[in-house]
Protein backbone atom coordinates (compact mmCIF):
# COMPACT_ATOMS: atom_id res chain seq x y z
CA UNK A 1 0.00 0.00 0.00
CA UNK A 2 1.00 3.62 0.11
CA UNK A 3 2.93 5.25 2.89
CA UNK A 4 1.05 8.56 2.65
CA UNK A 5 -1.01 9.75 5.56
CA UNK A 6 -4.53 10.90 4.65
CA UNK A 7 -6.75 13.26 6.66
CA UNK A 8 -9.42 11.60 8.76
CA UNK A 9 -12.17 13.05 6.55
CA UNK A 10 -10.91 11.07 3.57
CA UNK A 11 -11.09 7.83 5.49
CA UNK A 12 -14.76 8.52 6.36
CA UNK A 13 -15.88 8.99 2.75
CA UNK A 14 -18.75 6.77 1.79
CA UNK A 15 -20.38 6.14 -1.55
CA UNK A 16 -23.52 8.08 -2.35
CA UNK A 17 -26.75 6.36 -1.41
CA UNK A 18 -28.90 4.84 -4.09
CA UNK A 19 -32.34 6.43 -4.44
CA UNK A 20 -35.00 3.73 -4.47
CA UNK A 21 -38.02 5.97 -4.35
CA UNK A 22 -39.76 7.98 -1.67
CA UNK A 23 -42.17 5.24 -0.63
CA UNK A 24 -39.50 2.55 -0.36
CA UNK A 25 -37.18 4.85 1.59
CA UNK A 26 -40.03 5.82 3.93
CA UNK A 27 -40.76 2.13 4.58
CA UNK A 28 -37.11 1.27 5.15
CA UNK A 29 -36.62 4.29 7.38
CA UNK A 30 -39.60 3.22 9.48
CA UNK A 31 -38.24 -0.32 9.84
CA UNK A 32 -34.51 0.27 10.22
CA UNK A 33 -34.36 3.44 12.42
CA UNK A 34 -30.60 3.93 12.14
CA UNK A 35 -29.20 6.48 14.58
CA UNK A 36 -26.60 8.78 13.07
CA UNK A 37 -23.60 9.94 14.99
CA UNK A 38 -22.97 13.63 15.55
CA UNK A 39 -19.97 13.50 13.19
CA UNK A 40 -22.21 12.19 10.41
CA UNK A 41 -24.74 14.94 11.02
CA UNK A 42 -22.03 17.61 10.88
CA UNK A 43 -20.61 16.10 7.69
CA UNK A 44 -24.09 16.05 6.12
CA UNK A 45 -24.64 19.70 7.04
CA UNK A 46 -21.40 20.65 5.27
CA UNK A 47 -22.60 19.05 2.04
CA UNK A 48 -25.25 21.75 1.58
CA UNK A 49 -24.48 25.39 0.83
CA UNK A 50 -25.31 28.19 3.23
CA UNK A 51 -28.76 29.57 2.53
CA UNK A 52 -27.60 33.15 1.81
CA UNK A 53 -25.03 32.11 -0.80
CA UNK A 54 -25.34 33.14 -4.44
CA UNK A 55 -24.69 29.50 -5.31
CA UNK A 56 -27.71 28.27 -3.35
CA UNK A 57 -31.19 27.46 -4.56
CA UNK A 58 -34.08 26.28 -2.42
CA UNK A 59 -35.83 23.21 -3.80
CA UNK A 60 -39.51 23.91 -4.45
CA UNK A 61 -40.44 20.31 -3.65
CA UNK A 62 -38.70 19.64 -0.33
CA UNK A 63 -37.52 23.10 0.76
CA UNK A 64 -33.89 22.08 1.25
CA UNK A 65 -31.05 24.32 0.07
CA UNK A 66 -28.91 22.86 -2.70
CA UNK A 67 -26.10 24.06 -4.91
CA UNK A 68 -27.34 25.84 -8.03
CA UNK A 69 -25.07 23.71 -10.24
CA UNK A 70 -26.89 20.50 -9.32
CA UNK A 71 -29.39 19.32 -11.90
CA UNK A 72 -31.47 17.37 -9.38
CA UNK A 73 -32.18 17.85 -5.69
CA UNK A 74 -31.57 14.98 -3.31
CA UNK A 75 -35.35 14.48 -3.23
CA UNK A 76 -35.37 13.99 -7.02
CA UNK A 77 -36.81 17.40 -8.02
CA UNK A 78 -35.38 18.94 -11.22
CA UNK A 79 -33.48 22.02 -9.94
CA UNK A 80 -32.15 23.12 -13.33
CA UNK A 81 -35.70 23.54 -14.58
CA UNK A 82 -36.65 25.46 -11.45
CA UNK A 83 -33.74 27.87 -11.91
CA UNK A 84 -34.58 28.34 -15.59
CA UNK A 85 -38.20 29.07 -14.65
CA UNK A 86 -36.97 31.70 -12.17
CA UNK A 87 -34.76 33.22 -14.89
CA UNK A 88 -37.59 33.35 -17.42
CA UNK A 89 -39.89 34.96 -14.83
CA UNK A 90 -37.18 37.54 -14.04
CA UNK A 91 -36.68 38.29 -17.73
CA UNK A 92 -40.46 38.54 -18.29
CA UNK A 93 -40.68 40.94 -15.35
CA UNK A 94 -37.95 43.12 -16.91
CA UNK A 95 -39.82 43.25 -20.21
CA UNK A 96 -43.15 44.04 -18.52
CA UNK A 97 -41.51 46.85 -16.55
CA UNK A 98 -40.03 48.25 -19.77
CA UNK A 99 -43.40 48.14 -21.55
CA UNK A 100 -45.10 49.85 -18.59
CA UNK A 101 -42.45 52.59 -18.42
CA UNK A 102 -42.63 53.12 -22.18
CA UNK A 103 -46.41 53.55 -22.03
CA UNK A 104 -46.10 56.00 -19.13
CA UNK A 105 -43.44 58.02 -20.96
CA UNK A 106 -45.55 58.09 -24.11
CA UNK A 107 -48.57 59.33 -22.14
CA UNK A 108 -46.52 62.10 -20.48
CA UNK A 109 -45.00 63.19 -23.80
CA UNK A 110 -48.39 63.70 -25.49
CA UNK A 111 -48.94 67.05 -23.79
CA UNK A 112 -45.34 68.15 -24.33
CA UNK A 113 -45.54 67.56 -28.07
CA UNK A 114 -47.75 70.64 -28.42
CA UNK A 115 -44.64 72.70 -27.65
CA UNK A 116 -43.24 71.52 -30.98
CA UNK A 117 -46.32 72.95 -32.73
CA UNK A 118 -45.78 76.28 -30.93
CA UNK A 119 -42.18 76.32 -32.13
CA UNK A 120 -43.31 75.76 -35.71
CA UNK A 121 -45.38 78.96 -35.52
CA UNK A 122 -42.24 80.93 -34.77
CA UNK A 123 -40.46 79.26 -37.69
CA UNK A 124 -43.23 80.04 -40.19
CA UNK A 125 -43.29 83.83 -39.63
CA UNK A 126 -39.67 84.49 -40.72
CA UNK A 127 -40.29 82.43 -43.87
CA UNK A 128 -43.48 84.35 -44.75
CA UNK A 129 -42.20 87.81 -43.79
CA UNK A 130 -40.06 88.45 -46.92
CA UNK A 131 -43.07 87.60 -49.10
CA UNK A 132 -45.37 90.05 -47.29
CA UNK A 133 -42.90 92.88 -46.82
CA UNK A 134 -40.41 93.77 -49.46
CA UNK A 135 -38.08 95.33 -46.93
CA UNK A 136 -35.49 93.00 -45.57
CA UNK A 137 -35.10 93.00 -41.81
CA UNK A 138 -32.42 90.40 -41.18
CA UNK A 139 -32.00 91.18 -37.48
CA UNK A 140 -35.73 90.98 -36.76
CA UNK A 141 -36.02 87.82 -38.84
CA UNK A 142 -33.13 86.26 -36.94
CA UNK A 143 -34.65 87.20 -33.59
CA UNK A 144 -37.74 85.14 -34.42
CA UNK A 145 -35.58 82.02 -34.30
CA UNK A 146 -34.58 82.59 -30.64
CA UNK A 147 -37.97 81.43 -29.26
CA UNK A 148 -37.77 78.42 -31.60
CA UNK A 149 -34.38 77.46 -30.19
CA UNK A 150 -35.58 78.00 -26.60
CA UNK A 151 -38.80 75.99 -27.09
CA UNK A 152 -37.07 73.09 -28.85
CA UNK A 153 -34.29 73.05 -26.24
CA UNK A 154 -36.86 72.92 -23.44
CA UNK A 155 -38.73 70.18 -25.33
CA UNK A 156 -35.55 68.10 -25.66
CA UNK A 157 -34.71 68.56 -21.98
CA UNK A 158 -38.21 67.52 -20.84
CA UNK A 159 -38.14 64.53 -23.18
CA UNK A 160 -34.79 63.45 -21.75
CA UNK A 161 -36.15 63.65 -18.19
CA UNK A 162 -39.39 61.83 -18.98
CA UNK A 163 -37.77 58.99 -20.93
CA UNK A 164 -34.73 58.47 -18.67
CA UNK A 165 -36.26 55.57 -16.71
CA UNK A 166 -37.56 53.96 -19.90
CA UNK A 167 -34.14 54.17 -21.54
CA UNK A 168 -32.41 52.72 -18.47
CA UNK A 169 -34.87 49.82 -18.39
CA UNK A 170 -34.42 49.26 -22.13
CA UNK A 171 -30.66 49.00 -21.59
CA UNK A 172 -31.24 46.49 -18.78
CA UNK A 173 -33.53 44.40 -21.01
CA UNK A 174 -30.99 44.39 -23.85
CA UNK A 175 -28.12 43.38 -21.58
CA UNK A 176 -29.99 40.81 -19.47
CA UNK A 177 -27.95 37.63 -19.12
CA UNK A 178 -28.16 34.54 -16.96
CA UNK A 179 -25.08 35.66 -15.02
CA UNK A 180 -26.73 38.99 -14.25
CA UNK A 181 -29.81 37.11 -13.05
CA UNK A 182 -27.67 35.06 -10.68
CA UNK A 183 -26.08 38.20 -9.29
CA UNK A 184 -29.33 40.15 -8.91
CA UNK A 185 -31.60 37.42 -7.63
CA UNK A 186 -32.55 37.63 -4.02
CA UNK A 187 -30.70 35.42 -1.59
CA UNK A 188 -32.51 32.33 -0.39
CA UNK A 189 -34.06 33.08 3.04
CA UNK A 190 -32.76 30.86 5.79
CA UNK A 191 -35.08 28.76 7.95
Q: How confident is the model over 102-133, as pLDDT tens digits? A: 999 999 888 888 887 888 888 887 777 777 77
- Whether pTM > 0.85 for this model: the answer is no
Q: What is the CA radius of gyration of the chain?
A: 34
Nearest 5°: CA angle at 45, between 83 and 9?
Answer: 120
Q: What's the pLDDT tens digit per position in 155-170?
A: 899 999 999 999 998 9
Q: Is the pLDDT of residue 37 over 50?
A: no
DSSP alpha helix (H) spans, 63-190? 79-112, 114-132, 138-143, 145-162, 164-174, 178-184
Mean pLDDT of 73-101: 89
Q: Tell me, what's the pLDDT at 124?
A: 81
Amino acid sequence: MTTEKFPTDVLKLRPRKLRLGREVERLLEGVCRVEESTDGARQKARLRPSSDSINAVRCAACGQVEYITRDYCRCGHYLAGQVMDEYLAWERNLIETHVRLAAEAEEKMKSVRWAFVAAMLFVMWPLVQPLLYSEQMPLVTGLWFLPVIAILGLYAWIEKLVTAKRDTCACAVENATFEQFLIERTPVPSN
